[in-house]
Structure 1
C-alpha cells in the first residue's frame, strides 16, 4: 500500500535539494561542482566546471567504504584513468571492468573522469576535432581542490590507468612532483619518443577518434614530446611508489585463440600489448639505472584488453593501499539480528562492508550493493540502486524522508519501481531517474492516479519557487505548483506553456487553484489566483484575468456565450484595457465594460 502524507507535511518543510551546489559554481573562472547525480549510496556523478576547458566535465566517484559510517572523515584519492577510446557516458573502469564492486570495501575515494578520448589526459597545444583538451590542468589544479573542499578527499593521492591512461598516469606524476604518492601503469606506452613511437601514437589517436597528435604535442621531435615521455621523466618519480605491468601479446585465458598457434584472433590487441611490453621494459631499465624502485610484472601471456587490466587493478591494490596510507583489507564485519535475517534472504546485497551503526531512530549496515535500515517503528528494509542513491543524496534518514517503511518493488505498469519512507516515496524509471515525492505533491498526484494519472512520473526534485512562498515539481506530462494558501495543482500542455510565457506564479495569475479541466469543443482551462487560462484547438491558450473584463465575459456565458474563447491576453488601449475573443472583444474603461460582438 502506498503511503500518502497530508498537506500539513508539505507546509512543515520543503524538500531540500539533493546536494547544495557551492557558490563558486556561479562565479566565472572558478572550478566548482555544477550538478550532482547520485547513482547509488556510494557512487556519485559530479559535473565539475573546468575553467581551462570552459565546460563542465563529468567525474564519477566511488565513495570510501566508511563514507556513511564516519561522516566527518576524509579519505585518500585514487584517480583511475581510461584508455584511448574513452567514452562520454562512463569511465571504462566501471563500464568494462569491475571497479565498483572491487572498491566497495576499500577505504579510498576512487575518482573516475569521464571522457577524454585520445587525449592522453594532456594539455593540448591546439583545439582539435571539436575539443579543447586541457586535461592535465583539470586533473592536477582544478579538480583536487574541489574534492578536498566539498567531497571529503585528502591531499594524499594516487593515480593508475590502462594503455593511454597508464602513459598519462606516469606523466601526471612525473610532471607534477609531490602530487602523487602512488602511480600504476597497466599496458601503458612508457616511452613516447623512441623510434616509431610518435607514429604509432599518431595512428592510434587518429584511428580512435579522428584526432591529430600534432595538435597535442606538436610535431614529433619537438619539446612537448620530450616533456610527455615517462622514460625521460623517470628521475622525477624517485619518491613515488610505482607499479607497472604488461602482457606478452600471446593469447591468454581471456582471449579467443586465433588460427596461428599461441596468438589471439585480436590482432590489434596483440600488437598494442607487444608495444606496451617493449616500452615498459625500457622504462623499467631506466629506473633501475637510476636506482629508483618499481614493482614490475611482465605476464607470460595476455593482450591489450580489459580482463587483464581488471586483474592488474586487483593485484596492485595492496601496494596502492600502503602508499596511500589505508588498510588493504576490507573491514571485519558480520550481520545478525533483523538486518542479518534480511541480508541472508537478499543475497544480491553482497557481503557487508561495515558493522551496524546508529542512525536516526535505528541502526543501519552497509553492504556491497546497498544499505539495510532497521528501527522498531519502521521495520527492516534494504535501500539500493538509484533509489538508494537519491535517498543518500538527500541525507538518508536524517532528511525529510526519514527511515524506509517498505522495500523497493515494481509498479503495475512494468516500467517503474518505488519505495516508501516515513516522509514520502521515491519513484524510479530508466527514463526519469529516481525522484522524491512527498507532502501535498504526493497526495495530489495520488488522487490523480499516481504514475497512471495524467501527469506521469516525476522527472525532477521538488524545488522552492524563487520569489513567492511555494514549491514546484515537474512530471513527464505536467508540472505541479504548490503554495500554503492554494495547495498543489497540476498545470500541463499548452496552458502550461502560456503560464510560463506570462511568468508562472510571479505573473498576475499567481499560483494555480485547480487542476486543468475539460470544456466544450475539446477545450481546456485552469484556474489561478488571479484569473484563468483557456485553450481550444482553434483559439490557442490565453489568460483571462479576474476583474470587470472577466465578469463581463462571464455574463455572456464564458466560452459558451456569443463571444466564444479568448484569442488574446488583455492589452492596453487608450483609457483602459481590451481583450479579443473569437467573435468579438471587450473593452474596460474606468471600471465600465463594453461588450462588442462581431
Structure 2
C-alpha cells in the first residue's frame, strides 16, 4: 500500500506498533522507532502489542512502551486475541502478566482487546487447525469469550478493556451483538470519511484510519481533545451505579442493605451489602470490600478519606502462610494469621519491601504499621524478618533479623552512635557480613560475632589496612575507651590503639605485641605506639615505635624493649641494628647502684649518672673488663668507648683506669 500523508483535521494523533517496528540482530530485539520524531510530527499517544493468545510476547514491548513514554506520550498495551486457542480469562491473565496492566497515573491508556479477522484462517499449525475468519466459533460463543476476557480484565486491572475491531468482523462473528457499550471502542476503517460503527456503540474512542502513514506503524486519532485523552487514561468507568451493579453479582457479599450512596471524596460512591460494601470512584473503579480484618483496618484509617484512599483491587488470598491483601490508591493492607493485619502505605518503606519480594521475601509480613517521628525525620516499619528504616539523610534500608540487627539494637538503634543504616546487609566472599551506618558499620562473621566499627581514626586505620581482608581480619570487640581517654579495638590478629597524641596505630599479633603486653600495654613504660610494625630490617628484623621507646625483634636476638633514654640514644648513635652492636638481646637492666645496661648481639651499652652511656663492644677489652668484675670491679664504669690507636692498638677508659690492648700484648688493665 502506498504511503499516505492524510490525517483527520481533528482529535489527537496516535500510533500503534508491534514487533514489525523492531529489529532482531545478534540474539536481541531492539526498538527501531524514532519516538522523538513521531512526537515532533504531533503524535501524543501510542499502543504497543504486548501479547497474542497465551503463547507469544513481543520481545521489543518493554523498549517500545518505555521509549514512547520517555518522549511524553501516553501509552498503552494491546492483546491480539486467538479466541479458539484458550479461554478469555486465560488470555486476559496472560496479557496482564506480560504488560497489559493499567494504573490511574494519567500516562497509561486502558488495556485493549484486539479481536478481528483470524490471521491464520484455514491454516493448520503444529497439528492444530486454526479455524475460519471467525475462528470457527458461533456468534454466541464469541460473545461469551469476549465477556470472559473483559470481566477478567476488569477484575485484574479495574478497567474494562477497550475493544479493537471492525464493523464487518463484528457483524459477521458476534452476530452484531450490541451488549459491550460499556467498553470503549477502537474501530479500524481505512478511509477518509469516517468509520462505520459496530452494533452497541454510539461513538468510537479511537479510529485507526491508516496502516501506511503518515505515522509509524498504524495511524490513529483520539475522538476528542488532549485533556479528554488524559482523563481517559486516568479514570475508569463514569457511572457509579452501573459500575457497582456490574461487580455485585460476583462479589459474594450477600444482598444489598443500602442503595448507591454518592458524594464521597473525589466523586466516589458506595453501596453496602450484608457481607461488606462495593466502593467506586472514577479513578479506582468499583471494588469489593468484604467484611473482615482488611476492611476493619481500612475503616481505622478513615476509609476513602484516609491515607489509603479508595481500593484499587479486591481482596486477594492465597499468599504464603495463609495471607491476603488488598491494594489501595495510597498503598495496601496485608493480613496473615501470624502477623495480623497491617497497613503498608505507598512510600519508600513499601517500595523497599517490594524490592525484597513482599511477603515472599526475607522480611515476610509486616507486624506493625509505619511509625514516624524518629530522630532527624526518620520512620520505620517492623516485619516478621526484621524492619525497614528510612530517613531523609540515609535513605531507606532493610534491617534483617540476625546478629547485625541485634548489635545495632544494643547500641540504641537510630538514636545510638551509629545512627541510621545506609546500606542493607552485604554478604562477603568468605561468608562474613556487614551493614554500613551513618557513623560506622557492624561487621559479623561466624568466628567473631557481630562487632561495631564506629567512624573515627580506628575505623580509618582498619580501612587503610584492608578491612577484614587485611592482616587484622575481623574485629572481635567494639571500641573500648581507656581511663586516660585513649581507645582501642581488638581484631582477630591484633588491635588498633589510639590516643590524641599518637593517632591510631596497628598492633599486630606477634612477638612485638606480646612484648608490649608484657610491659603493661599503654600503661607501661612504652606508652602508646606511634607507628605500626616496620619489617625488612637486616637479618629479618622488625620494630615498632612507642611513646617511650621501641620494641625490636629479629630471629637471632628475640624481641626486646628499647626504652627512650641514654642507652637508646647511644645505640642510635652507633646506627641501631645496622651498627656494630647489632640487635639488643635483653632489655635495660638496672643495677643495685642505680646504673643500667643493655646487652646486644655484639656487646653492651652501660650507663650510670657519673659516666653517661658508653658502648662496650665484644672483644678482648670487654673480656678483660668482665674478668675484672665489670662495674663492680676496680675499674668501675667505662667513661669512653673503645678508641683505636694509630698503630692498631686499642684502649677504653674507665672511672679508675683503662684497659689497653694490642696484638702483641693482649688486653691489660691499667689502674689509676
Q: Which has the higher helix share?
A: 1
Q: TM-score, normalised by structure 2?
A: 0.44
- Scaled by the length of structure 1, the TM-score of the pair is 0.49
Higher RCO by CA contacts (8 Å cutoff, separation 6 or greater): 1
Pick the structure with greater CA Rg.
Answer: 2
